[in-house]
A and B are shown apart, each in its own frame.
Chain A
Amino acid sequence: MGIIVYLIPVALLLGGIGLGAFIWAVKSGQFDDPDGAAARILLDEEDKPLQ
């Protein structure tokens, strides 16, 4: 049972990283324009030929 002393903090840490990533995404405006983000993948940007 001693292993849970390590496992619980590790699980919390991993979950916490995910939560942190989500909060970062919300705060940096990733969710500000969901319609636009969905539409932008359909736009064909004209690729410039490699020099």
Chain B
Amino acid sequence: MSVSAPLPHGCPSGLTPPSHEPSLSHLSAFVREVQGTKKLDLSIRGATCANCLGKIERSVSDLPGMQSVRLNLSSGHLAVAWQGDLAPESITETIQALGYGVSVHSEDGGEVARKREERSLLIAMAVAGFAAANIMLLSVSVWGGHSEMGETTRQGFHLISGLIALPVVLFSGRHFFLSAFHALKAGHVNMDVPISLAISLAFFTSVWETIRGGPHAYFDACVMLLFFLLIGRFLDARLRRRAYSAAHGLAALQNQSVTRIGPQGTKPVKAEDIAAGDTILLAPGERAVIDMRITEGCSDIDESLVSGESLPRQATSGQIVYSGSVNLGNALKGHALAAASDSLLADISRLLQAGEQRRSTYRKIADKAVSIYVPFVHLTALAAFTGWIIIGAPIRDAILIAVSTLIITCPCALALAAPVTQIVAASRLFREGVFLRSGDALERLAAADHIVFDKTGTLTLGEPMWAETPEARHHLKAAARLARASRHPLSRALTKAAGPGDIANDIREFPGLGLICETPAGEHRLGSAEWVQTDQALLHEGPLLWYSAPGLSPIPFLFRDELRADATDTVAALKASGYDAEILSGDRAAAVERTSKALGIDRWAAAVSPQDKATRLEDLRHQGKRVLMVGDGLNDAGALSLAHASLAPGGAMDVSQAAADAVFQSSLSSVPAILRIAKRARRTLLQNFALAALYNFIAVPIAVTGHVTPLIAAIAMSASSLIVTLNALRLRA
């Protein structure tokens, strides 16, 4: 193992901020051992470029006994295999030291199923494309040579087309047939019913025409339809898989082990094996996975993830530590209040699921279009059939006309209209640094009229910043020597302001009070006013730290949770566009009031619990408001998934990013931009449906009057699909 110059922290491109997360412990519960080779699957967050990939793979490979290290940059999945006694924690520590977030990778069933579906759609699409190209070559010869081609040659060409089409219709068409079958079995009609009907009728009519030696076979139309429809289906599946489920992200957070203190001693066990009443240990720097009541110990607890409160709370025996909190100070012993499935994290996870379900009942514009379209097409075809019978046409001609009506009105353009628009809008947003989590999110974002902001981390930077004063500047270096020993957010802010330097010796930390360092000359103290024994009154609304040294009266260090630079402009721009704004924060009233005054937002609520946030959103929904929630903490996750639409900044908790409809990397000013693009996308989508309707308006009379030939069907279908695609591409500009 070679020791070289330290690698830069986090992604060297600066695209993603380096992560500072509590360390993982007791990973041994997740290591699988096969014939002496140990394997571990991890999820990496923040790796975005070739440099990240190289840094992570090289650093982990340098650990002793490593056999293989492979990072999937698209999914963030790192597979590690090694031999020997290397502790799995040293792998995660190596990665964390590089500045990336890491957690145990949990491959849940949904993820695997979605991946398999996308893959099978891609193959079905390729097969249909291959067949469409080959059959079209044969069809073009038939159309071009209709006067010179002999009847036997034509029949031969139809036969070959049919032989190519049969396996393809069965193979590629199964996605539609199965879905239509399930829908009919459940007693309702979806888009796949008219599609299946059109494809199978086109196929059987063509077989019949081929056997009879008739002039028209629709094998090309039938397979081309499949190809176009599968393109739409594949794009849709891909977008949905990228938008990985919210519950999945939370599962990764929960997928941790807990130290249980049993009669046989201390042992790491998986969180799900803990029962209420077990004695558990929360080590310094560890994140609680299970709610616990402290029986022994006293420490500072960072609950910013749970409540949004930016400053840590001191917890002693008898008090409750909720899951999701991070222990900043000393080891804590306590009783588990509930199993992992009953913990606060699990409660939030259930809120998320409720939100997901709510969203699945949301009726997309595309669904509405289909519900009008399906009966229309079927009735038209039926009317054409009966009409021609009544005026005395032979049954064979009537069937052919009905079938050609079904083929030409088949919802190619309709099926492409939504996915193509969503894909183009998503890639447009991606260029602006916005990651869209689902395709229909665009529609919901476009409909929002009321915006609810979280405060800490969303409108503000989410971490205290040292507010410079000349007096404090003079003693910054000395105070930082103590501050570097502590995980307290104020100490970290001080350390950040002071930059790199050394740490004083023999520092002791007293939770809730401060730090002390005894030197021969006397005591250096850093902490609360009570800790340095001062009674100076200060006019400062934010948090502060006091520093005292031998022969020095206590010096105050002031901190502020600063507004994001563009928060004021963004809120003003949104208000000017007619959006209502309000703030829901878990922080103290004074802090929230100051923020809302600075931004000119009249409505705000402070000290709001995750449940209260959800309730407030429900109220707004009942008032008929379409709420856009913008938030970043774990306490916002439930609200994010319950809101009509939601956004999370890139620095947000994983769970919140997963619960939001879109994640914006850059500044808060992305919010109005996202809303603008979403509105444009909705307009394009509606235009596309209008174009598809116009196409039917022209095509149906031609079909019903019996003037459709396979050539006209092929041109009409391609043209309509091309037009909606080109219209969607206008969104790129």
Query: Which segment of B47-55, B472-480, B604-612, B689-697 sits at the interface?
Result: B47-55
Given A36-B53, A43-B50, A12 and B134 touching (CB < 8 A)? Answer: yes
Cβ-closest chain A residue relative to B127: A19
Query: In the complex, what distance in Å separates the CA atom of A16 from the CA atom of B130?
Result: 8
Give the residues in chain B near A42, CB-CB below 8 Å.
50, 54
A43, B53: Cβ atoms closer than 8 Å: yes
| B67 at the binding interface (Cβ < 8 Å) | no
Q: Which of B43-84 contact A (CB under 8 A)?
A: 49-50, 53-54, 71-75
The A-contacting residues of B in range 255-270, CB under 8 angstroms, are none
Q: B32 contacts the other chain (Cβ, under 8 Å)? A: no
Check A50 for interface membership: any CB of B closer than 8 A.
no
Q: Are B50 and A40 in contact (CB under 8 A)?
A: yes
Binds A, one of B118-126, B378-386, B618-626, B652-660: B118-126
Query: When chains A and B are docked, how far (Å) is the Cα of A32 from the Cα of B160?
Result: 35
Say whether A34 faces chain B, with CB atoms less than 8 Å apart.
yes
Q: Contacts of B75 on A, CB cut-off 8 Å?
A: 32-33
Chain A interface, DSSP helix/strand/loop, else mixed? helix
Given A15-B130, A19-B130, A36-B72, the answer on whether A26 and B119 have CB atoms closer than 8 Å is yes
User: Smallest CB–CB gap between A7 and chain B, Å?
Assistant: 11
Interface residues of A in 7-49 (CB under 8 A from B): 8, 11-12, 15-16, 18-19, 22-23, 26-27, 31-36, 39-40, 42-43
- Contact between B123 and A23 (Cβ–Cβ < 8 Å)? yes
Residues of chain A contacted by B164 (CB below 8 angstroms): 12
B153 close to A1 (CB less than 8 A): yes
B138 to chain A, nearest CB (A): 8
Least CB distance, A5 to chain B, in whole angstroms: 9
Q: Which of B74, B126, B134, B138 contacts A23 (CB 8 A)?
A: B126
Instruction: Using known A-B contacts A15-B130, A22-B126, determine if residue A35 contacts B73 with beta carbons closer than 8 Å.
Output: yes
- A32 and B74 contact, CB distance less than 8 A: yes
The distance in angstroms between the C-alpha atoms of A36 and B164, with both chains bound, is: 37
Residue B133 lies at the interface, judged by CB distance under 8 Å to chain A: yes
Name the contact of A40 in the complex, choosing from B53, B134, B137, B138 (C-beta under 8 A). B53
Partner of B74, one of A12, A15, A36: A36
Alpha-carbon gap, A23 to B172, bound state (A): 13
Q: How far is the CA of A40 from the CA of B130 in the complex (A)?
A: 31
**Bound CA–CA A35/B73 (angstroms):** 6
**Interfacial chain B residues near A12, Cβ < 8 Å:** 134, 164
Residues of B close to A43: CB separation below 8 A: 50, 53-54
One of B49, B53, B126, B137 near A19 (C-beta < 8 A):
B126
- Beta-carbon contacts of B119-155 to A below 8 Å, as 1s and 0s? 1001100110010011001100000000000000100
- Bound Cα distance from A1 to B145, whole angstroms: 13
Per-residue A-contact encoding for B664-695, CB less than 8 Å = 1, 0 else: 00000000000000000000000000000000
B126 touches A39 (CB 8 A): no
Report how far A18 CA is from B127 CA in the complex, Å.
11
| Least Cβ–Cβ distance between A13 and chain B, in angstroms | 11
Note all chain B residues with C-beta closer than 8 A to A32.
Answer: 72, 74-75
Instruction: Chain A residues near B74: list those with CB within 8 A.
Output: 32-36
B226 to chain A, nearest CB (A): 15
- Residue in A11, A22, A34, A36 whose beta carbon sits within 8 Å of that of B71 in the complex: A36
B123 — which chain A residues lie within 8 A by C-beta? 23, 26-27
Tell me how far the C-beta of A39 lies from the nearest C-beta in chain B, rounded to whole angstroms: 4
User: B71 contacts which chain A residues (CB < 8 A)?
Assistant: 36
Shortest beta-carbon distance from B223 to chain A in Å: 14
**In chain B, residues 100-132, which have Cβ atoms closer than 8 Å to a Cβ of chain A?**
119, 122-123, 126-127, 130
| Chain A residues within 8 Å of B72, by CB | 32-33, 36
Q: Which of B1-60 contact A (CB under 8 A)?
A: 49-50, 53-54
A42→B75 CA distance, assembly (Å): 19
- B73: A residues at CB distance < 8 A: 33, 35-36, 39
* A1–B134 CA distance with the chains assembled, in angstroms: 18
Taking the closest CB of chain A, its distance from the CB of B12, in whole angstroms, is 12
B606 to chain A, nearest CB (A): 42
A15 and B134 within 8 A (CB): yes
**Which A residue sits closest to B53, measured CB to CB?**
A39
Nearest CB of A to B1, in Å:
15
With both beta carbons as reference points, the residue of chain B lying nearest to A12 in the complex is identified as B134
11 additional A-B pairs beyond A8-B138, A23-B127, A43-B50, beta carbons within 8 Å, are: A12-B164, A15-B133, A18-B130, A19-B126, A22-B126, A27-B119, A34-B74, A35-B74, A36-B71, A39-B50, A42-B54
Residues of A that sit less than 8 Å from B by CB: 1, 8, 11-12, 15-16, 18-19, 22-23, 26-27, 31-36, 39-40, 42-43
Binding site for A on B (CB under 8 A): 49-50, 53-54, 71-75, 119, 122-123, 126-127, 130, 133-134, 137-138, 153, 160, 164
12 examples of A-B residue contacts, CB within 8 angstroms: A8-B138, A15-B130, A16-B130, A22-B126, A23-B126, A26-B122, A27-B119, A27-B123, A33-B72, A35-B73, A39-B50, A39-B73
